[in-house]
Amino acid sequence: MKRPSFKTQAFVLRFINYGESDLIVTFFTREFGKLRGIAKGARRSRKRFSNAIEPFSHSILLFSRRGEGGLAIIESCDVINHYPGIRSDLEKTMTASYMIDLVDHFTAEGKKSAGIFQLLDDFLKLLEMGNSVEETARFFELRLLRLSGYEPVFERCVICNTPLSEINTAFFDTTKGGIKCLPCGRGGQNCIPVSTGTLKILLMGKQIETNRIHRLVLSETALKESRDIFRHFIRHILGREPKSLRVLDEIRKMI
Ligand SMILES: [Zn+2]
């Protein structure tokens, strides 16, 4: 019986060599969520997949498979966007690698998430066109957390509900996933000091339309504080730090 074929948009998350000439590729697709497939002969003939199998490449994927959950057979993969503007810049390349690493960690195989697909699509475009690389990464983290059910609380103290507008000194508690005021957070473990200015701009980043996000410019302090908050919070959720983040740290030291 012939296997049914499917067509979907997809981003390449990662791939490994298999046998002498094949690749096992993990995609994040619009219609099928995360999907693993075998690209037969992909290493022998790059032409066959026209270099579509590169990390974070956006393409139209044609695949077949017997039943859900099995390894798909990749029939073809045609590039929609290869992001030359990202690939020509080391910091942007590593930031895009970090973004797909996060998507990989926060999604499950076979579970569709059109929201996260759209987020990745939007933010790779922002990264390609804009110069605010760190801001793009921070707002991506923020929105990915929200879409994954881990939205950090910046609006009020998670213990006593004091609104941010009445808080002068705040801490971010990674285990609670939200801010605490001074009396609730003082001396607490897992509490990172954060200025209210940083929290206010992050709140704006939650709401603002994606095409206006480049207008939000973070100060040095806000960049450092937000970097710390998300790093610790994401490490708390995942139980470890994404590997690509360490590589990104190394790259930043060189720039
Ligand atoms: Zn409080």
The 10s digit of each residue's pLDDT in 114-141 is 999 999 999 999 999 988 899 999 999 9
Kindly give the distance from the C-alpha atom of residue 186 to the centroid of ligand 1, in angstroms, as a whole number: 10
Could you tell me if 52 and 72 are in contact, meaning their C-beta atoms sit under 8 angstroms apart? no
Kindly give the distance from the C-alpha atom of residue 162 to the centroid of ligand 1, in angstroms, as a whole number: 6
Mean pLDDT of the region 90-94:
94
Kindly give the distance from the C-alpha atom of residue 28 to the centroid of ligand 1, in angstroms, as a whole number: 40
* pLDDT score of 24 more than 90: yes
Q: What is the pLDDT of residue 23?
A: 92
State the Cα angle at 51 between 119 and 45, rounded to 5°: 145
C-alpha to C-alpha distance for 120 and 107, rounded to whole angstroms: 12
Kindly give the distance from the C-alpha atom of residue 172 to the centroid of ligand 1, in angstroms, as a whole number: 11
Mean pLDDT of the region 193-212:
92
Of 47 and 41, more confident? 41
Three-class DSSP category at 190: coil
Mean pLDDT of the region 204-219:
88
In the chain, where the domains are located: 5-82, 85-254
Of 28 and 68, more confident? 28
CATH number of 85-254: 1.20.1440.120
Kind plus residue range of the DSSP H or E element containing 133: helix 133-147
Q: What is the pLDDT of residue 207?
A: 84
Give 57's contacts (C-beta < 8 A, 6+ positions apart). 11, 12, 51, 79, 81, 82, 83
- Could you list which residues have their CB under 5 Å from ion ligand 1? 157, 159-160, 181, 184
Q: What is the pLDDT of residue 139?
A: 96
Mean pLDDT of the region 145-149:
96
Write down the mean pLDDT value for the chain. 92
* pLDDT score of 76 more than 80: yes
Q: Is 236 exposed, middle or buried (0-12, 13-18, 19+ CB in 10 A)?
A: middle
* pLDDT score of 51 more than 80: no
Bridge partner residues of 68 (DSSP): none
Bridge partner residues of 63 (DSSP): 6, 74
Kindly give the distance from the C-alpha atom of residue 197 to the centroid of ligand 1, in angstroms, as a whole number: 18
Q: What is the pLDDT of residue 233?
A: 97
Kindly give the distance from the C-alpha atom of residue 191 to the centroid of ligand 1, in angstroms, as a whole number: 13
For domain 5-82, the question of CATH label 2.40.50.140 is answered with yes
Mean pLDDT of the region 134-163:
96
Kindly give the distance from the C-alpha atom of residue 253 to the centroid of ligand 1, in angstroms, as a whole number: 37
Q: What is the pLDDT of residue 1?
A: 59
Q: How distant, in Å, are the alpha carbons of 14, 47, 57, 63 from that of 43?
A: 15, 9, 17, 18
